[in-house]
A and B are shown apart, each in its own frame.
Chain A
Amino acid sequence: MMGFIWFWLVAVMIVGYVVLDGFDLGVGVLHLFLVRNESERLATLRSIGPVWDGNEVWLLAGGGTLYFAFPLLYASAFSGFYLPLMIVLWLLVLRGVSLELRNHLDLGVWRSLLDGVFGLASALLAIFYGAALANVLRGVPLQPDGYFFLPLWTNWQPGIAPGILDWYTVIGGLVALIALTLHGALWLTIKTSGDLEQRARRIVTPLWLALVALTVVSLVATIAVRPASLDNYSHYPVTFIVPVGVVASLAALWFWNRNGQPVKAFLASSVYLFFMLAGACWGVYPTLLPATTGSANDITLARAISGPHTLSVGLAWWTFGMALAVAYVVFVYSRFKGKVDAAAPSH
């Protein structure tokens, strides 16, 4: 029971991270080619200025929760995905610093460089996150002692000894890139005004079409790479609500964006991300990290879970702490609600 609870609590924190940091990553990607002048760029960056570092906190809090609830998974996955994780860290550093620098320095040509770094790091992060999830779904070459080490690539094929990148995980990366860019575009339709808002709304159409196509492709590819992903669904047919939810949220997103209801469209996109992640988690549950070397080596919930006292104590403070955290998040977002004003001084 504790295992079930903590599995989904960690999943909730990951969803929280993807939904929140997802839109500022998407805004980072979009600002490279959506804005036409400095004041539009300012409005774009202002729309995420007060919240982006708070959004990244979800990654830290989620990582910490994973650490104490499933120490074996944390140890195994983090050392096994050593190289891509380090690259993710560098990208996070570069992204945060380039945004901060651009806000403080008025340096002409250097500013364009910083914008480029910010956009590129945002795009690569989205791709890496998608690829990371795909790696988990595909499985990794776990040894009996619970460890593995993945090179960045091998022969680009899923198999017993794959790399971080193969054709399947690249698809995962693309899904994430398009989904988060779309998510960011919807955020901009909420937060910006005028011409920029119109352009953000228009770019939703091609992104949405691409996302629908990629969603289908990724679904088919997942079933092809790991047929067992469907087991839970066929045992509990009621859970086919997840793919239905994916389709419904995509449709709702389209509809509300067309009708000029940006907040609802953004929420639909959040629901889409939720269902995609929840669907993936449900596809592997109760395995946490499948092994390509035979299911005896799988890292399962039962194998990775922390001691019972740790978890019951954790549940008490986690519930309390996250209730507080959600209150802060709601408070901050309500303080900064409405369109951004690019001309106003910040501090």
Chain B
Amino acid sequence: MNAELIHRLHFAFTVTFHYLFPQLTMGLALLIVVLKTIALRTGLDKWDRAARFWGRIFGINFVFGVVTGIPMEFEFGTNWARFSRLSGGVIGQPLAMEGVFSFFLESAFLGLFLYGEKYLSKKLHWFSAVMVFLGSWISGFFIIVTDAWMQHPVAYAHLPNGQYEVLSFWQLLLNPWGLLQYAHNMTGAVVTASFVMAAVGAFYLLEGRFLSGDADYCRMFLKVGVIAGLISTIVIIFPTGDLHGKYVARHQPAAIAAMEGLFKTETGAGIVLMGQPNEETQQIDNPIVVNDALSFLIYGTTKAEVKGLDQFPRDQWPTTLPLLYYAYHIMAGLGTYFVLLMLGAAFLLWRGTLHRTRWILWLLLISFPLPYIANTAGWMTAEIGRQPWLIYGLMRTSEGYSSMVSAGNGLFTLLGFMGLYTLLGLLFTVLVYREISHGPEPKAKAAIAAD
């Protein structure tokens, strides 16, 4: 077996699994701040109970995020030693800053938020929720900065021993690629959290629970989830997705061509809505195309020329091209569906009939996994699109993995992670389902003692 492939799969598998958790916690942290703020302003206890409930869900996700996140930092060294050796002076910086600036903050205030409500004043408890939000969003920022440097290296010097060094700290942190990616990615996290919140509200409503009076959580969750969902699903397309896409088109034209399945350069290039890329014949099979749309989206005019893959030497084409194409199309297709669904739900919410419209409640319920898929597909688009480069234009992926770690040893630990994470996934599902099916009302005394 090929060691490079094993190391790529190793990182891809562990990071994909890991990101299922932070995308919820980052989005949910914001929504918990919303709940706590309303609780503080209205003084109504049900908002505090709701925040406590989502705090428990957050807590479970946070622990799974932490334990699956620690391997990510290690894998830079264990599986990508040659890359780390040369680039550690640059990307080690944001990674270390994530630990120093975000994790301490986040874990400290999460402990206070989850365990300290009875010791803290209402304002201080609200403050701890804000700090958890801040910590998780700072954490996301440093990860994006790291990735952005690999996508679009800036502010570096090449030392005589081959290592890269930071030339400007602020340029590294304010890499335009990173800022666009950050806006897009964090909006994606809010999409996930709002879909989950709306789905839980819909679930309770369809089950006929928590309908009335002081405990009408289903309406509360639907309302917060749908409003946050409408805003975030729009923002993720426009302006964040739009701007990010244009930036990618300018700086990684081969990636855009592969994402769109554009084998040949065209003026007035169309967007392929569906179809299967065929690398042998270099065309899209069974295409459904909107003419001129791609030229318009990238350059703002329908007649602009868009470079196809034929403009690039074969060794600069993204590897695993069909996967890149599908990842991108899944992301974009789901993103379109999200806006439609949330527009419909928001309209019914405004008319006051959302809670009676069962078909859309069902749609909201069963759609909750889709943002996870869309976020994952988005990351796959970014990372596969960067191929064959590990650091775009500077280092190829084949030059970065740990040459001392054989394919056999790599496969051993990859299989280990697969087994362990399968178990984790099952346990996580059970834990979260129990919390949700129990709901936001305080637990019985006995259950509390065990908590």
Contacts and interface: CB of A to CB of B under 8 A. Distances in A.
A57 B109 CA distance: 13
A34 interface: no
A64 B92 contact: yes
A185 to B, nearest CB: 23
Does more than half of chain A's interface fall in helix, strand or loop, or is it mixed? helix
A101 B427 CA distance: 8
B111 A75 contact: no
B369 interface: no
Interface string B97-109: 1111101110111
Interface string B151-194: 00000010100010111010000000000000000000000000
A309 interface: yes
A94 B109 CA distance: 24
A321 B78 contact: no
Given A93-B68, A104-B434, A336 B116 contact: yes
Interface string A53-77: 1101101111111011111101111
A331 B167 contact: no
Contacts of B298: none
Contact of A104 (B163, B417, B451): B451
Interface residues of A, number: 75
A65 to B, nearest CB: 5
Contacts of B64: 97, 100
B245 interface: no
Contacts of B69: 60
Interface in B313-334: none
Given A53-B66, A63-B99, A89-B71, A68 B448 contact: no
A88 B413 CA distance: 12
Given A82-B402, A346-B448, A67 B77 contact: yes
A174 B349 CA distance: 63
Contacts, number: 254
B63 A97 contact: yes
A81 B447 CA distance: 43
B87 A54 contact: no
Interface string B75-112: 01111011011111111110111111101110111111
A89 B97 CA distance: 21
A335 interface: yes
Contacts of B416: 86, 90
A64 B100 contact: yes
Interface in B404-451: 404-406, 409, 412-413, 416-417, 420, 424, 427, 430-431, 434-435, 445, 447-451
A336 B115 contact: yes
Contacts of A148: 404
Interface stretch (B52-60, B198-206, B213-221, B261-269): B52-60
A328 B103 CA distance: 11
Interface stretch (A190-198, A233-241, A311-319): A311-319
Given A96-B63, A313-B169, A343-B449, 7 more contacts: A68-B91, A75-B81, A82-B402, A101-B427, A104-B451, A309-B157, A346-B114
Interface of A: 42, 49-51, 53-54, 56-57, 59-65, 67-72, 74-83, 85-86, 89-90, 92-94, 96-97, 100-101, 103-106, 146-149, 306-310, 313-314, 317-318, 321-322, 324-325, 328-329, 331-332, 335-336, 342-347
28 contacts: A42-B449, A54-B104, A57-B104, A61-B100, A63-B74, A64-B97, A64-B98, A65-B96, A68-B92, A70-B88, A71-B88, A75-B77, A78-B78, A79-B81, A83-B412, A89-B70, A90-B417, A97-B67, A100-B60, A101-B427, A147-B402, A147-B404, A148-B404, A306-B88, A325-B105, A328-B109, A329-B104, A347-B55
